[in-house]
Amino acid sequence: MFFSRIFKLNSLKAVGDLGPIIKKCLCTQQQIPRVHCIPALNSWIYQQNDKIISPRNISKKIELPNGLTWVPPLIDPIKIPREIIAPSTETADTPKEAVRMIVIRRKKMKRHKLRKLKKKMKFEWAKLKQKRELRKEKAFQAVLIQQCKEAESFSADDYVKQKLDKLHEIVIPRYWKGKRYPEFLIRQKMGLPPK
């Protein structure tokens, strides 16, 4: 189908036997055969590409200052042999450098971590706070309910009676004429009946 479109085989049947030409075109050898017939109808397939021009080498020559034509090679400075000393394990000998910067960095890091933790635990802490407030509210309501019950069970007669009993109650001192005695002896001396 594909080759019939390219070569327009239907229109070229009248020209002659095209069997060997097609066989040459469709052979599967490694060497690609050349096609000798160039159909006039599909000439766009065989158009040659324009010549590819490689880019020109446009490189400016770098001139040396003062018109020099030769540069002497760079001479390395004299290498002084130095002994490499391993760092000591004692931390007291090594002085701290930029101590203030370390302190500032630590503070910044703590602040950053705290901010990160607050962002992470925001809703969990809000739940805990809400539960705490609910507990406080329940305790407060229980106290209010208790006070209401006490107010409802208040009796004015009992209250007055308690106050009068307290007023008529005889207070027994611990000391009698500068000496400490037991309660029953003091009651006898005061002329009161025993308990």
Across 45-61, average pLDDT: 65
How far is Cα of residue 94 from the mean position of the Cα atoms in its chain?
35
Take residue 135 and report the two structure tokens written for it.
Answer: 């507990």
Q: What is the pLDDT of residue 154?
A: 92
Confidence of residue 120 (pLDDT cuts 50, 70, 90): very high
The β-bridge partners of 180 are: 175
Give the predicted TM-score (pTM) of the model.
0.34
pLDDT tens for residues 122-174? 999 999 999 999 999 999 999 999 999 999 999 999 999 999 998 888 888 88
How far is Cα of residue 147 from the mean position of the Cα atoms in its chain?
52
Eight-class DSSP state of 30: S
pLDDT tens for residues 180-192? 988 888 888 888 8
How far is Cα of residue 37 from the mean position of the Cα atoms in its chain?
71
Residue 82's Cβ-side half-sphere holds a number of Cα atoms within 13 Å equal to 6
Tell me the C-alpha distance between 163 and 154, whole Å: 14
Cβ(45)–Cβ(6) under 8 Å?
A: yes
Strand boundaries in the chain, DSSP class E: 175-176, 179-180
**At a CB cut-off of 8 Å and minimum separation 6, what does 71 contact?**
64
Q: Which residue has the tokens 């008529």?
A: 168
Q: What is the pLDDT of residue 30?
A: 52
Where does residue 136 rank: exposed (0-12), middle (13-18), buried (19+ CB within 10 A)? Answer: exposed
Q: 3-state class of 109 per DSSP?
A: helix
Eight-class DSSP state of 177: T
